[in-house]
Amino acid sequence: MAVIYSNYLKSVIKLNFLLTHYKRRKYQDMQNRPTIIGILGGGQLGRMLAQAASSFNVELRVLDSDPTCPCSTLVPRCTNQSFRDEAAVYNFGKDCDVITIEIEDVSVPALKRLAAEGKLVIPAPEIIEVIQDKGLQKQFLQSNEIASAPFRLVDSPANAFDQDTQYPIVVKLRRGGYDGRGVVVAKTELEAKNSFNKPCVVEECVEISKEIAVIVARNSNAEVRVYDPVEMLVNSDANLVDLLSAPAEISIEQTETAKNLAIQVAQKINLVGLLAIEMFVTKSGEILVNEMAPRPHNTGHHTIEACACSQYEQLTRVLLGLPLGDTALKQPAVMLNILGQPGCAGPANWSGLDEVLSLSNVHLHVYGKTDTKPFRKMGHVTILDQDLTKALEKAKFVRSKLKVIA
Ligand code: ADP
């Protein structure tokens, strides 16, 4: 079954890639007028994409049901309807030249219709479909012999465990989980059975030494560029990336393995667009793919200041059919996610801005969310320094001063 599905998937993805090639002719038509880029989702990733894209000859449009979304103050044409709604996505997309995403939880049927009618949809709807389901992601990795944690799929955890199971075991919702919501590391049979009551991926618990991420870009000419791996520190209270440092402190061989894995995945899935790949470095030094996102990613925020071409400009280049940019890391960097303070909900109030902004090589990004809530991503700070240790020290200071309260 998995083999049949995988062959089907490969042919669909191949067909889509050929179609994208064919659609390149459209880029020529777009050369003498602004290209209309439609972004599904108006969150911070869409906002930073809009910031980068606005250096090119484009007209930006956003679909997001929230009239106060982070894109709303930057992009004049925001349509306030749901990106999960088929009719809304179709109607929004049919007047754009190219449609992309900043979140993968979008209507795939609408995107398939648009692609079938000749619209450029980047990434391909079939890729989004695979990524939306962690079960399909794992099957894709397995059938392409890309190293990842051993797994099985279950309809519901309730009757999928017994005392012979090795605990701890990781149970993940196939659909709808994000930022750690939808992942349970179960220590006992009872915890595993009570984790969820929906279809899940059950994974062996990996002995993780480090969590890293690699972003890869591929355009419709099959040109590929990959960023250096970054290291993620997860906030265990919020289950969110708290701090990220670049480059990851792993061996040269591990860096090469991680980058090659990312390129391999991009080629196997026939990517046109951007793909962020989260990986585990195991205690025995192996590198395993954890999960993927076919869009700009939190683990690439630092590329705005730290890399020759940011992930957001890179995606813009793919959308416009242009050559890819240089991914070189100009300087080591640390990125801090600024989350809403626990216990605070209501109109956002930033404290500590003066102290933080008086530092050199410290770059603040405020996402423009009017209300804060505990652990909501409100902004981020990127700190550059030739010496990563010094950047980490500065990050500690920033963390102690900068707060978003209500
Ligand atoms: P999400 O999509 O919600 O971010 P992830 O699959 O990235 O979910 O899992 C969240 C976190 O759970 C990971 O960053 C990692 O710390 C831990 N985790 C996930 N899978 C495993 C695993 N197989 N073994 C050990 N820890 C895991």
For the chain, how big is the Rg over CA atoms in Å?
21
Residue keyed to tokens 């100009």? 330
pLDDT reported for residue 186? 95
From the alpha carbon of 203, which atom of ligand 1 is closest? 23
Contact 217, 324 (CB under 8 A): yes
Say if strands 362-366 and 377-384 run parallel, antiparallel, or are unpaired. antiparallel
pLDDT reported for residue 15? 57
Contact 250, 258 (CB under 8 A): yes
Please state at what angle helix 125-132 crosses helix 134-143, rounded to 10 degrees. 110
pLDDT reported for residue 12? 55
pLDDT score of 145 more than 60: yes
Helical ranges in 97-165 per DSSP H? 108-116, 125-132, 134-143
Is the shortest distance between the CB of 290 and ligand 1 below 6 Å?
yes
* Mean pLDDT score, 302-327: 98
Cα separation of 11 and 406, whole Å?
Answer: 51
Is the shortest distance between the CB of 148 and ligand 1 below 6 Å?
no
Is the shortest distance between the CB of 206 and ligand 1 below 6 Å?
yes
Q: Distance from the CA of 273 to the center of ligand 1, in angstroms? A: 24
Q: Tell me which residue has its CA closest to atom 10 in ligand 1.
A: 180
Is the shortest distance between the CB of 131 and ligand 1 below 6 Å?
no
Say if strands 58-63 and 77-79 run parallel, antiparallel, or are unpaired. parallel
Q: Which of 203, 206, 281, 290 to mutate to test the pocket of ligand 1 (most atoms within 8 A of CB)?
A: 290
Is the shortest distance between the CB of 205 and ligand 1 below 6 Å?
yes
Q: Which of 104, 138, 170 to mutate to test the pocket of ligand 1 (most atoms within 8 A of CB)?
A: 170
From the alpha carbon of 280, which atom of ligand 1 is closest? 15
Is the shortest distance between the CB of 211 and ligand 1 below 6 Å?
yes
pLDDT digits (tens, 9 = 90+) for 43-72: 999 999 999 999 999 999 999 999 999 999
Please state at what angle helix 125-132 crosses helix 2-30, rounded to 10 degrees. 140
* Best CA proximity match to 104, nearest among 126, 128, 73, 79: 128
Give exposure, 309-341, as e/b (b: 16+ Cβ within 10 Å). bbbbbbbbbbbbbeebbebebebbbbbbbbbbb
pLDDT digits (tens, 9 = 90+) for 167-212: 999 999 999 887 778 999 999 999 999 999 999 999 999 999 999 9
Q: Distance from the CA of 378 to the center of ligand 1, in angstroms? A: 23
pLDDT reported for residue 14? 61
Q: Enumerate the β-bridge partners of residue 218.
A: 224, 273
Is the shortest distance between the CB of 276 and ligand 1 below 6 Å?
no
* Best CA proximity match to 311, nearest among 280, 277, 357, 287: 277
Q: Distance from the CA of 196 to the center of ligand 1, in angstroms? A: 16
Q: Which of 141, 142, 183, 281 to mutate to test the pocket of ligand 1 (most atoms within 8 A of CB)?
A: 183
77 CB burial (10 A radius; 0-12, 13-18, 19+): middle
- Measured over the CA atoms of residue 300, residue 304, residue 309 and residue 314, the dihedral's sign is positive
For a pLDDT cut of 70, what percent of the chain falls above it? 92
Contact 287, 306 (CB under 8 A): no
pLDDT score of 331 more than 60: yes
Query: How does DSSP assign 304-321, residue by residue?
Result: HHHBSS-HHHHHHHHHTT
**Which tokens is 281 given?**
């470095």
Q: How far is CA 109 from the centre of its chain?
A: 21
**Nearby residues of 259 by Cβ (< 8 Å), 6 or more positions away:** 214, 226, 228, 229
Q: Tell me which residue has its CA closest to atom 13 in ligand 1.
A: 180
* Average pLDDT taken over every residue of the chain: 93
* Mean pLDDT score, 278-305: 98
pTM, two decimal places: 0.92
Q: Enumerate the β-bridge partners of residue 211.
A: 232, 280
Is the shortest distance between the CB of 340 and ligand 1 below 6 Å?
no
From the alpha carbon of 206, which atom of ligand 1 is closest? 24
From the alpha carbon of 204, which atom of ligand 1 is closest? 23
Q: How many CB atoms lie within 10 A of CB 354?
A: 8
pLDDT reported for residue 181? 85
Is the shortest distance between the CB of 278 and ligand 1 below 6 Å?
yes
pLDDT digits (tens, 9 = 90+) for 222-280: 999 999 999 999 877 777 788 999 999 999 999 999 999 999 999 999 999 999 999 99
Cα separation of 216 and 224, whole Å?
Answer: 7
| Range list of β-strands (E), 5-75 | 35-40, 58-63
